Every structure is written in structure tokens, then in C-alpha cells.
Amino acid sequence: MKTIFEMGAPGRHAVMPAPLDVPAASLPDAVKRDTPLALPELSELDVVRHFTQLSRRNFGVDSHYYPLGSCTMKYNPKIMEAIGALPGFTRLHPFTAMTDAYRKICQGALEVVCEMERLLAEVSGMTAACLQPMAGAHGELTGALLIAAYHKAQNGVLRDTLLIPDSAHGTNPASAVMAGFKTVTIPSNAQGVVDFDAYAALMGEHVAGVMLTCPNTHGLFEPRVADMALLAHENGALMYYDGANLNAIVGRCRPGDLGFDVMHFNLHKTFATPHGMGGPGSGAIAVGERLVPFLPNPRVVKDGGTYTLQDSAQSIGRIAPFFGNFLVALRAYAYLRAVGAEGLKTVSENAVLNANYVLARLRDVWRPAYDGLCMHECVLSAATFASKHGIRALDVAKALLDRGFHAPTVYFPLTVKEGLMIEPTETESRETLDAFCDAMLDIARLAETDADVLHQAPRTMPVGRLNEAQAAKNLDCACTG
Amino acid sequence: MDWSVISGTEKRLMLNAVGVADMASLFAVVPEALRVNALDMPEGMSECCLSSYFEGLARRNCAGCVSFLGGGYYDHYIPAAVDALAGRSEFFTAYTPYQPECSQGTLQAIYEYQSMICRITDMECANASLYDGGTATFESAIMAARITGKSRVVVHDSLHPVWREMLLTHASGSALTIEDGNEPVAGDTACVIAQNPAFPGTLQDFSELARRCHDVGALLVLAVNPVSLGLVKTPGAMGADIAVAEGQSVGLPLAFGGPYLGILATRKAHIRKMPGRIAAATTDAAGRRGFVLTLQAREQHIRREKALSNICSNQALCALRALIHLCLLGKEGLRETARACHAKAEYLKAKLDFAEVLNAGPTFNEFSVRLPGNAEAVTAAMLEKKYLAGLPLQAVNRGGPNDLLIAVTEKRTRVELDAFAAALRECAA
Amino acid sequence: MNPDTLKYTEEHEWIVNLDGICIIGITEYAVDELGEITFVELPEIGKVLERGEDVAVVESVKAANDVYAPVSGTVVEVNDILEMEPDLINRDCYGKGWIVKMKDINEEEYNELMDARSYRGYLKTVE
């Protein structure tokens, strides 16, 4: 397919501004553009057809089952899109909130921010929340900065280390380092959960906090999470909850009650907002009592019947220009208001049931990385197929594409060899799960009888396997004309 | 209301298949004492109730005023085709393109977006997006420090005050030293971060500053407004090493602060130090062109604590909107839009003879004035007349009580400008 | 280079001391784990390194591995052909795909490194 820069013709245009109704003005040469403006020249139909064609070269949740582990690709209800498109929200300038004169015209939007933050605090068992962080990793960085600010205010010993399990998302150590911390890895034990003795040995006065995902990326609930929190607190360290896997427990138990002091939500995962090909998401955070004074400025508060802004002198400062990815939070708020407390419980129940159903159907053929039940996702391994038949997780992923399914997450977590991480989510039906499991079993049979066919997958996509090494070496990453 | 689909009888069948007696068994691992009994939240709602509830909330926001409020975020027209195309669920319900064969739509769009950013900024490579202009500014500082091996970041007084604040917060745990100033300091300066047009609206040619930065081994980071580049000298032409921008002005609604779009572009020599995703062209075994994510080994999911950045989720859908928007405007459309913004702002500026223009040089779409009266009070009075008259600069600690920042986009008509000038004259007296 | 005559680290670097100049590369095992190598980041000549410090980065499409200095010393030469042809390491990791040369190395640290036999034994425990 052509790129948009290989299309069009000189002089063609789609949407032009109205003819100028004021005198033309000119700029001094020194500040004027003196290089060609090499934009394409296209008709509206050229553009519409091009991007419609592009869209057809994509799998999305609306068109395909997307069991991508750790990403919670649940269905995004259409009503939330309608709410997110209401002009009363989309056309509102954010600076209306920042001056007293304008604040009365954004009360509806401020209510969304304030009430959403209240709901998030309730759902997480925390004291307060903040919508500013614009993605999960951004929430982690904010949380790590809060932990640093808290310890600094204690005037105690220098705490420069965060403990992070080996099964954690890569964002955890990356965020910790950005916030100025050293990271030390906690090993997993043979059961796929934190090795508690190793953890206890790593704990000490230099530890500022512990970043934990629960259930972890092996799809397992950390059985000693409360003990971990107790030990951390005894040593003056804080507990950070990575909310990536909150879908497993939402409505049933709360990070605050488990002993966590700060967490981020991935609103785009747990609360059903679309993932948008990689974003925008929202990494709203929630904190317990002692971190509240350090939350980013400004905070939205209700003063009598009016929503207004408030700064805290101890705040870490500003994390977003305004209130984070507001339209994402708005959709998530609408979702929470739609499902209510009972609905949330059903969400985690069905998410866990669906994952265990897939695990039960596949476990005899595709060996799970760890024994027993799982939570909202299961991690299988293609390692025996790789050594016996040369069929690796990557081959399985590509073969699934040909069968009309998006692939599971592969090669993650790094602790599992040839990992296939499957997260069905609660919005998929039993028929879909069965069809997916049938495909997985079919691939396993083929691996034994006709492995070559699998190496050639995918064959039904717009392109076959692409040469990634060539891409990295040649680095053609812009058509600059 | 919820969107789970498993019915009662199916549940039984599935529990049997799993080999447990009931749902509670699946959660047995969660200690009883840690479970929550009741959440203090409103009961769920039907779709119909939900819809009217949120329509009511939306009505409490007045979004219907004639706007002269900018401050880096502008009321531009967004062609209908942007919503129609970016609203295709094949785009917005897809995930990060980790499986390239079933994500060619996403990957090609990212590649085209990167190309588009390079073309408007005159830079050589761009990433697939960061969160917003403020976080892009922060990432550019980290990137400059990595490239130069130095740690001092000089913030020019032209930079957006909110972005400056975000930079300070984000970098508070890092090894960067951030200070205000307009010139690089010989020895340890990683970069100077300037903005064009400056936050108060003034345009400058930063070519000389770029040279002075390079003379002492520092980089120039230039923040720009993408719409202005239809008319204004580009960061590439000025010799900037990194260009950053807030992409809201090209295809994104104001949306009470987000989602927006962090643009970052640089020279090819620095591509391996550039954070964020990058799409690149390659071929399959049959020689067909396709697109993949490349240089992923720099990213957090592989490099963990040694990654260039922690960024994972980005603003891909916003980048798509910007791409479509710029395709629809095209060469002539972007130029004409920029010309209209500039000409209309100049027209209004000339009409405001009762106020003192504070900009020392030329401006593009926005300028600062000192009114005869208090700016906050004037904007309150103007609001009664259904105008958002601009941003009182004191609210962002960038001016005195009477100073107002006024933005004009291509949407404003001559009739609106005349009426606004008259109303402001009346309210400011 | 004959792999049997080299010294090895647990991080899969090889090193050999030829009259006071040490040549350093990565082993076949490391190369297999990485897959096709797409980029090598080389140090500056004259850089003084402690044992265990990063000396180079070897990148493939799926991983980026730090190459650690097997011994303390000073970088005297880098294999800059790798900047154009990183996959030389895939093709000849014990020969043309060497990465850096160091001098003034710590002999004691050098003598503590594994020989080919112990490295082969070590590989069995890794697999």
C-alpha cells in the first residue's frame, strides 16, 4: 500500500479555512518559514479512502478477540464514546479552571474530576486520588516521586532503593530510576510468587518502598502480600501497588486494605476505555493518608456547592498541564457509574472465571508456567514445543493471527521461557473462548505433524513476517521527501 | 449494568470445567479478612439514565462562548473527517502494535505521522508520540543530558510556565540541574530550552542561540506551535537539535486538558537517544513493504531500569488525529490557516488601541496586552457577554494584574473581532 | 581466535591477553541468545574501566546486552567496523567480531577468569 506522501497532486486540497476577511499581514523575513512545506496535496476522498484502508489492516477489540496478557483488552462500550464526545466536555478550554473568573463555566467538568477521584479512592481503599498522570508508567513515576517526597519530609535516613520483583512490568524499574531511585530485584520462588525470605533479606533502612503487582504478571495473587506490607512498614518503607492487574480483584478487595500506600490505576484497562493503538490511557493514582499532602497541584475540591482548586505547599508540583487525559477519565467515570459496586464484583468474577476456563482447556497441552488456579490471566509456555518441534511462542502467535485471533502476549514476563500470557477479560463469551482454545489445540497438533506450516505463518495477513533486523539497521523511520 | 457475558448456566458449566465448586473457590487465595464487603459508591445505572446524567453534567459547562483564550491550547476548527476516520474502531480499539502483521494500519499511520512531523519541523526523525507538550519538554531535557553527558538544563524565559513547572516536578529526582536563564553556560550545559512563539506570543529567530549552544557543546531544544510552522521559520532551519511541541492545535479538541499530544523530533544522529516508540519501514520474505516497531531494545519492556524512558502507553490515537488533520489541510491548507491566524490577530491587535501591547517583537496568533483595568475583572465582565477574553497572565505568574494574553484562530470572523474589540473597550474602561 | 585458548566471564564475554593487550568479545552462547545483532555502541578510546563496568552495548531486535569489562583496564582500540556491520559478531564472534581492546589490565583479575573448560561446564548449569 502507498504511503500518504506517495499520493495526491499539486494544487489539490481538502478542507481550507474561510477566505481571509481581514487585510493580509506579513512577518519579518527573519522569523518566516524559508524552507519548503512538503505536505501532501490531497482531496478529502483521498484522505478518507487511505485511512479507511489502513484501518482495515488492523485487529481491534471490536473486530477480533484480543487475549493480550497484562493489557486487559476488554470491550469498550459505545455509550462511553458518546459521552466522551459531548461538546460540553470536548470544547471546554482547560484554562477556564485556572482563573476565578472562568471557573463557574466548567463546574460540570470539575465535578467529573472531583467525583471520579473520590470514587477511585473508594474503590482502592485509599484516602485520595489524582487524575493527572497520563498513563500507567506516568502514574508510577508520580508515585515514586511521592515516596521520595514523603521520606524527604521525614528527615530520616537516606532511602534510595525500591524493591521490585523479577516478574514486574519493565515500567516499574524504569520509572523508579527516573524518580532517582536504585532498584533491587526480588526473586520469584518456584510457585511463581515473591520469595518471601529473599524479600525479607533485602529489606532494610535504605529501602524507600516496594513496587508490587498483585496479582502478579504470572497471573497469581501474592499470598503473602499483607506480610510484605507489614515488613515494609516496620522498616519505614512504603508499598506501591501497580494497578495493571486490578481487573482481577476490583470490587472484591482493595489495595489500601492490603496495606498499600500508593498505587496507579490503568483506567484504560480496568475501566474499559479504548487503548487507541497504544494510547491515550490514564494512570490516575490514589494514596493513603500520609501521602495526601504531597499529591500533585492543583487539586480539585468541593467548597460548599462549588468546585474549586487548591494547592498544597508540600506538593511534588505539576505532573500534567491540567487534569490529565480528561476525556479518558470521563469515560472511565461513566463506566464506574454504569456498573456500580455490584457490577464491579461481576467484572472481576467473570474475568477470573474466563481465565481459569482457558487454563483448564489448554493446560494438558500447553503447559502452564506454574501449577494451580490463576487469577485474571494465565501464563503458558511453549518451551517443550520449542525444544521438541522447533515451534516457539512467536510461531504460535503468528499462527493465531491466521485463525482470526490476536496473539497473547509473548516472551513476557521475562521469568518464563517461551511465555504465552493469556488474558481473556470478562467481556468475552464462552463460544469465543472455546474457539480460541480449539485454535491453540489445533496449532499444537500441527506442531507435531507439520511444523513447517507454522513457521510460514501468518499467510492471511497483508504482509508476512517482517524483517525486523533490516528495519533496525536501515532505519527508514520517516519519509522526508 | 455491566458488560460481562457469562450467564448463570454457563457459569456452572465453566466452573465444572475448571474443577471448582463455586466462584468463591477461585478467590480462595485472597484472605477473607482483606475482602471488601460494601463499597460506598452510587448504584449502577442503565445506559439511558447514564446518557441523560452525563448530558446534564456537560450542560453545566459553558462551551459556547466566542473564545480568545489560548495560552498554548487553541480553538481551531477540526474537519469532520478527522472524527470520522479516527473514530473507526479498528483504530481506537487496537492495542500497541506488538504483532506487526495484524497492525499494519497502526504502524503505517505512525510512520506517516513521524514523516509528517519531520516535514513540518524540518527535523529528521520523530517518535510515535509522548503525552503532551510538557512531558515532551521533560523528555527532551533528559535526552539532551544523555547525548551531551552534561547535566545543566537552562530554561529560557520564552517557555510555557506550566511546562516549566512540569519539567521541575518530573526532573526532581534526576541528576539534572534546572535553572532559568537565556544563555548556555560553558562547560556543563546539556541544553537550553526555548519556545517559539514565546508563551506571551513573541516570535524570535533562535538561530544565533543555536550557534551559541553548539559553541559550548550544548543542544538547543525548541518548543513550537505546529500550526505556526505553516508560516514561521522552523526549528530545523534555526539549527535546533530537538524540537518539541504540543500537538493539540492540529486536530485535537481542547477537552478540558487532554488527551493531548507530545511531539518530539530530532536529528538522525540522536535517534538512539530518543525516547518512545518508533515505527520503521522494512520488507517481508516476499519483498512486500511493511512497517514494524524498531529500536525496541531501548524501551522499558526490554531494557527495564536502563531504558531511555519509562513510557509505555503513549498518545497514538491523538497522533493519528494530528496526521489526518494535517493531511486534510495539506500544504496549502496549513499555510492558509497559519496566515489567517496571524492576519486576524494583527487585525485585532490594531483595534485594541486602548491597551498597551507588551510584545517587543512580531507575534503569530497570540499577543499580550496591558489593559487599563484589572484583567481578571475584565474577563469576568466579558464572560457575561459570552466572550472568553483571554488568559489573565497573573494567573500563571507571568504578568501584572492588568495583563491579558489574547489568542486568535482562523475560526474568528471579522465581525466577531470587531464586536470583541468594542466589548473589550467597554469592559476595560 | 581459538575458543579453547580464551578466558571467559559468567556474563558470556571472552577475553585473551596477547602481550599485554587484551582483546574482548562476546561468546557464541551470547550471540545465540541475542539473535541478529543490529547495533553496537562502542566506548571512547582512553576510557578507564573498573572490572564489571559497562564497556559496550550490543543490541538486537529483541534485546540490548551490556558488555561488561571482564577486567579493569584502559580502552586502547575499538572495532569500529561494527558500527557499519554489527552482524559481524553473528558471523565471527571469536574473530572479526571482536569488540574492544584494553591495556594496563589487572593481571590478578585476569587470572581469576574461567578457562574454556570451566566455561563449558558453566554453560551446562545455565541451560
Q: Which residues in chain A (383-442) have CB-CB distances under 8 A to chain B?
A: 397-398, 401, 406-407, 409, 412, 426-430
The model's confidence at residue B398, banded by pLDDT at 50, 70 and 90, is very high
3 state DSSP class of A18 = coil
Query: Bridge-partner residues for B358, per DSSP?
Result: none
Report yes or no: B161 at the A interface, CB cutoff 8 Å: no
| Residue C1 pLDDT greater than 90, yes or no | no
Whether A477 sits inside 8 A of B39 (CB atoms) is no
| Residue A206 pLDDT greater than 80, yes or no | yes
Residue of A nearest to C40 (CA): A473
Cell numbers representing residue A112 in the block: 467529573
| Residue A331 pLDDT greater than 80, yes or no | yes
Burial B295-311 (b: 16+ CB within 10 A, else e): bbbbbbbbbbbebbbbb
Region B200-211: mean pLDDT is 98
Whether C86 sits inside 8 A of A468 (CB atoms) is no
CA distance B307 to B299: 5
Report yes or no: B272 at the C interface, CB cutoff 8 Å: yes
- The pLDDT of residue A105 is 96
- The pLDDT of residue B209 is 98
Report yes or no: B418 at the A interface, CB cutoff 8 Å: no
- The pLDDT of residue A480 is 84
Phi, psi for residue B22 in degrees, rounded to 5: -150, 175
Whether C62 sits inside 8 A of B272 (CB atoms) is no
Domain chopping of chain C, boundaries:
3-109
Region B239-261: mean pLDDT is 98
Q: Return the CATH number of the domain spanning residue range C3-109.
A: 2.40.50.100
Report yes or no: B24 at the A interface, CB cutoff 8 Å: no
| Residue A481 pLDDT greater than 80, yes or no | no
| Residue A121 pLDDT greater than 80, yes or no | yes
Report yes or no: B297 at the C interface, CB cutoff 8 Å: yes
Return the number of other C-beta atoms located less than 10 Å from residue A153's C-beta: 12
Q: Spell out which residues of chain B touch residue C64, defining contact as CB-CB under 8 Å.
A: 297-298, 302-303, 306
Report the percent of chain A where pLDDT is more than 70: 100
Which residue shows C-alpha cell 513457521? A455
Interface test with C, best of B295, B304, B305, B308 (most C CBs within 10 A): B295
CA distance B65 to B42: 33
The dihedral over CA atoms of A127, A133, A139, A145, expressed in degrees to the nearest 10, equals -80
Calculate how close chain C gets to B311, using CA atoms only, in Å: 17
What are the start-end ranges of the H helices in A188-287?
196-202, 225-234, 255-258, 267-270
Which residue shows C-alpha cell 539497521? A473
Phi, psi for residue B391 in degrees, rounded to 5: -105, 115
Domain count, chain A: 1
The CATH number linked to A194 is 3.40.640.10
- The pLDDT of residue A457 is 97
| Residue A450 pLDDT greater than 80, yes or no | yes
| Residue C127 pLDDT greater than 80, yes or no | no
- The pLDDT of residue B140 is 98
Cell numbers representing residue A412 in the block: 513476557
ipTM of the complex: 0.98
Q: Spell out which residues of chain A touch residue C127, defining contact as CB-CB under 8 Å.
A: none
- The pLDDT of residue C62 is 83
CA distance B20 to A102: 58
Domain chopping of chain B, boundaries:
66-75+331-428, 80-322
CA distance A313 to B400: 23
Query: Bridge-partner residues for C16, per DSSP?
Result: C23
Report yes or no: A141 at the B interface, CB cutoff 8 Å: yes
Whether B362 sits inside 8 A of A27 (CB atoms) is yes
Rounded to the nearest integer, the mean pLDDT of chain A is: 96
Residue of A nearest to B61 (CA): A106
Whether A469 sits inside 8 A of C39 (CB atoms) is no
**pLDDT tens profile B31-71:** 998 999 899 999 999 999 999 999 999 999 986 799 999 99
CATH class of B66-75+331-428: alpha beta
CA distance A393 to A400: 11
Report yes or no: A249 at the B interface, CB cutoff 8 Å: yes
Cell numbers representing residue A192 in the block: 511463581
CA distance C76 to C101: 6
Report yes or no: B380 at the A interface, CB cutoff 8 Å: yes
Cα end-to-end span (Å), chain B? 55
| Residue A245 pLDDT greater than 90, yes or no | yes
Q: Is residue A218 part of a domain?
A: yes
List subunits contacting chain A, requiring 3 or more Cβ pairs under 8 Å.
Answer: B, C
Whether A473 sits inside 8 A of C59 (CB atoms) is no
Provide CB contacts within 8 A for B261, sequence distance 6+. B129, B132, B246, B247, B248, B250, B252, B315, B318, B319, B321, B322
Q: Is residue A34 part of a domain?
A: no
Whether C38 sits inside 8 A of A411 (CB atoms) is no
Whether A411 sits inside 8 A of C61 (CB atoms) is no
Calculate how close chain C gets to A413, using CA atoms only, in Å: 14
- The pLDDT of residue B155 is 98
- The pLDDT of residue C63 is 87
Q: Is residue A333 part of a domain?
A: yes
Interface test with B, best of C40, C44, C54, C61 (most B CBs within 10 A): C61
Cα end-to-end span (Å), chain C? 25
Residue of B nearest to C39 (CA): B295
Residue of C nearest to A466 (CA): C61
Whether A411 sits inside 8 A of C86 (CB atoms) is no
Q: Spell out which residues of chain C touch residue A472, defining contact as CB-CB under 8 Å.
A: 38-39, 59, 61
| Residue B429 pLDDT greater than 90, yes or no | no
- Sheet with C54-60, strands from edge to edge, namely C37-41, C54-60, C64-68
Whether B39 sits inside 8 A of A28 (CB atoms) is no
Whether C36 sits inside 8 A of A411 (CB atoms) is no
> Out of A21, A41, A85, whose CB is closest to B414?
A21
Render B301-350 in DSSP notation, one character per residue: HHHGGGSS----S--HHHHHHHHHHHHHHHHHHHHHHHHHHHHHHHHHHH
Q: Spell out which residues of chain C touch residue A473, defining contact as CB-CB under 8 Å.
A: 38-39, 86-87
Query: Bridge-partner residues for A85, per DSSP?
Result: none
Cell numbers representing residue A7 in the block: 499520493
**Which residue type, as a one-letter code, is found at position C54?**
D
**pLDDT tens profile B110-129:** 999 999 999 999 999 999 99
Put residue B149 in one of left, alpha, beta given phi > 0 → left and psi -120 to 50 → alpha.
left
Interface test with A, best of B222, B274, B310 (most A CBs within 10 A): B310
Cell numbers representing residue C39 in the block: 547495533
| Residue B232 pLDDT greater than 80, yes or no | yes
Q: Is residue A387 part of a domain?
A: no
- The pLDDT of residue A157 is 85
| Residue B302 pLDDT greater than 90, yes or no | no
Q: Spell out which residues of chain A touch residue B326, defining contact as CB-CB under 8 Å.
A: 39
> Out of C39, C64, C66, whose CB is closest to B302?
C64
Provide CB contacts within 8 A for A336, sequence distance 6+. A116, A119, A123, A271, A344, B41
Find, among A347, A349, A344, A389, the residue nearest to A365 by Cα: A389
Half-sphere exposure of B163 (CA within 13 A, CB side): 32
Q: Spell out which residues of chain C touch residue A468, defining contact as CB-CB under 8 Å.
A: 61
Region A103-129: mean pLDDT is 97
- The pLDDT of residue B81 is 98
Choosing among 2.60.40.10, 3.40.640.10, 3.40.50.300, 3.30.70.380, the CATH entry for B80-322 is 3.40.640.10
Work out the burial of residue A343: count CB atoms within 10 Å of its CB; fewer than 13 is exposed, 13-18 middle, 19 or more buried.
buried
Calculate how close chain A gets to B276, using CA atoms only, in Å: 11
**pLDDT tens profile B75-103:** 999 999 999 999 999 999 999 999 999 99
Interface test with B, best of C37, C44, C59 (most B CBs within 10 A): C59
Q: Is residue A212 part of a domain?
A: yes
Q: Spell out which residues of chain C touch residue A471, defining contact as CB-CB under 8 Å.
A: 61
Provide CB contacts within 8 A for C34, sequence distance 6+. C58, C60, C62, C63, C65
**pLDDT tens profile B314-342:** 999 999 999 999 999 999 999 999 999 99
Render B242-308 in DSSP notation, one character per residue: EEEEEGGGTT---GGG-S--EEEEE-GGGGGG--S--EEEEEBTT--EEEEE--GGGSHHHHGGGSS
The model's confidence at residue A414, banded by pLDDT at 50, 70 and 90, is confident
Least confident span in A121-135, A282-296, A346-360, B5-19:
B5-19
Whether B257 sits inside 8 A of A324 (CB atoms) is yes
CA distance A72 to A217: 12
* Structural domain span for residue A118: 81-339
Which residue shows C-alpha cell 483571554? B390
Whether B297 sits inside 8 A of C64 (CB atoms) is yes
List subunits contacting chain C, requiring 3 or more Cβ pairs under 8 Å.
Answer: A, B
